[in-house]
Structure 1
Amino acid sequence: MSAGYDPNNIFGKILRGEIPAHKVYEDDMTLAFMDIMPRAEGHVLVIPKEGARNLLDVSPDTLAELMKRVQHVAKALQAAFHADGLTLHQFNESAGGQVIYHLHFHLLPRWDGVALRPPGTMADNEKLAEQAAKIRAALTPFTG
């Protein structure tokens, strides 16, 4: 059961500009930014600007629009990193692996024979900035 949305989570703070992030994509309803503890080169998080705890309580309309942006960012990510594939992760509640209680999708570029790194290692800030720029350069205009 969802305990409700707390706007003071770290992603809420990023949305309000209280904490910096390496932004990849932003529009009126979505923000995509680099994961600071990436499990793969180019690991991106895509979140709605609507305060939703997870998949179980987001509005269906927001979810539908959000998934269009997830796909849009995924295409740029795959192109920017010449990835063989992509992994999409999304977790719900602590039993499902959720740690930050703001709906978010992990996009991870994948290459044949390359395993994901274990979680928990901070990335170099300059490297994240370079990767974000690389992804932004590969984005095409969003047409919905």
Structure 2
Amino acid sequence: MSDARTDCPFCEIVANEDIDARQIYRDAETIAFFPTEPAVLGHTMVIPRHHVADIWELDTHTAARLASTTLAIATAIKDALNPHGLNVIQSNGHAASQTVMHVHVHVVPRWEHDRIGRIWPPESHYTEAQKDDAWEALREAVRKVRTR
């Protein structure tokens, strides 16, 4: 894992250099703040304090702290805003719409008929053979990852 990056806007927030950041939580390892353009009111982002580009660079300790803070923020959103639902979104790479290359979790309160709409397609058109191939490939990959 690398140190803070001078070209990373989230590292600027960590360093308290972004005066526009609306932080709602900070501890020794994580920070939670509002994005500058929230999808809905209460949309909060959770980041590790040290620079990690994406999920594949996370160590298990940092991942656990990120998950713990995400859970606390989700609970606070439920208590403070009483949403109808909640999305927890974590994207990696440009194809998945990651625009800031510092791992982050979006905690997004949801209400019926909000402006976000559906985030999943209503159906897919994969054959059973395609699903079986993906299933087998992932099962084998998980076995290898778990034995590292």
TM-score (norm 2): 0.72
Write the distance in 2 (CA, Å) between the matches of 1:112 and 1:61: 36
Does 2:36 align with 1:7?
no
Of Structure 1 and Structure 2, which has the larger fraction of its residues in helix? 2
Q: String of CA shifts for 1:73-96, please: whole Å, max 9, x gaps.
A: 110012111101101111101122
Residues 88 and 105 in structure 1, CA contact (< 8 A), matched pair in contact too: yes
List structure 1 runs of 4+ shifted beyond 6 angstroms: none
Residues 11 and 50 in structure 2, CA contact (< 8 A), matched pair in contact too: no
Report the AA paired with residue 23 of structure 2.
K
Residue of structure 2 equivalent to 1:87: 87
Residues 5 and 53 in structure 1, CA contact (< 8 A), matched pair in contact too: no
Give unpaired runs (5+ residues) of structure 2: 118-148
Once the two structures are superposed, the pairs formed by residues 41-80 of structure 1 within 5 Å of their partners are: 41-80=41-80
Q: Which has the higher contact order (CA 8 A, sep 6+)?
A: 1
Does 2:142 align with 1:113?
no
Write the distance in 1 (CA, Å) between the matches of 2:33 and 2:64: 19
Q: CA deviation at 1:27?
A: 0.5
Q: CA deviation at 1:115?
A: 3.0
Give unpaired runs (5+ residues) of structure 1: 118-144
Write the distance in 2 (CA, Å) between the matches of 1:7 and 1:91: 20
Q: What is the SS of the residue equivalent to 1:12?
A: helix
Residues 54 and 103 in structure 1, CA contact (< 8 A), matched pair in contact too: yes
Q: What is the SS of the residue equivalent to 1:46?
A: strand
Report the AA paired with residue 108 of structure 1.
V
Alignment RMSD (CA, Å): 1.7
Once the two structures are superposed, the pairs formed by residues 123-134 of structure 1 within 5 Å of their partners are: none
Write the distance in 2 (CA, Å) between the matches of 1:13 and 1:6: 8
Residue of structure 2 equivalent to 1:34: 34
How many aligned residue pairs are there?
114
Residues 3 and 50 in structure 2, CA contact (< 8 A), matched pair in contact too: no
Residue of structure 2 equivalent to 1:137: none
